[in-house]
Amino acid sequence: MVVDLVRAYTDPAGPFALPEADSVVAATAELVDAARTGGHPVFWTEVRYSPGMADGGLFARKVPALRAFAAGAEGGWGEQALTPGPAEVLVSKQYASAFFGTSFAATLTTAGVDTLVVAGVSTSGCVRATAMDALNHGFRPLVVEQACGDRTRALHENNLADLDAKYADVVDAAEALERLRAPLSPAPGSR
């Protein structure tokens, strides 16, 4: 799954611009290609608010720059940095986790997903919240170190260490690519 990898983070002029965005986008593109090659479903998230931000709650009050994700906001900051496939699910959310206030858990369960390979931004925010909630919903989160990014290298590394200690398995891109390139095996009892 690709968490919030949008222009707001990847464009140097974006309101949430990250210093190593190009390498995160490149690593994520490799993961997406490998998942598609292996026949694995790919899921995407975006942050999207109503024009007046009535659905932003306290999160939008705490982080006023989230107005960049309101419908009709100038700048196109919510545009994906990579292009989702036509049949791939895009989860729209108002808070950090892809699970909070969405049908994402039900979508994963229906698709037969038990492990979630997580890429995107930011490591300390939406990636972390999504990985934690994946675990809370009974999914195994694998956070790919090189395919995530944050405001500073230290913040990225500290959050990866904490995620790996408690909530997810932090994996190297090479390991994730190997797993994703392997074709899906049929579920027991399926044809």
16 in a structural domain: yes
Domain count, the chain: 1
pLDDT at site 190: 43
User: Do β-strands 115-121 and 140-149 pair in parallel, antiparallel, or remain unpaired?
Assistant: parallel
191 in a structural domain: no
pLDDT at site 183: 79
28 in a structural domain: yes
pLDDT at site 184: 75
Instruction: Encode pLDDT of 168-191 as tens digits.
Output: 999 999 999 999 998 776 655 443
29 in a structural domain: yes
35 in a structural domain: yes
The mean pLDDT value for 8-31 works out to 97
187 in a structural domain: no
Catalytically annotated residues: 126
Instruction: Encode pLDDT of 123-164 as tens digits.
Output: 999 999 999 999 999 999 999 999 999 999 999 999 999 999
Provide, for the chain, the percentages of residues in helix, strand and coil under a 3-state DSSP scheme, each rounded to the nearest 5. 40, 20, 40
CATH number, domain containing residue 165: 3.40.50.850
Range of the domain at 114: 2-181
The mean pLDDT value for 34-41 works out to 96
For all residues of the chain together, what is the average pLDDT?
A: 95
190 in a structural domain: no
Of 55, 21, 36, residue with least CA distance to 150:
21
Of 114, 116, 145, 135, residue with least CA distance to 45:
116
129 in a structural domain: yes
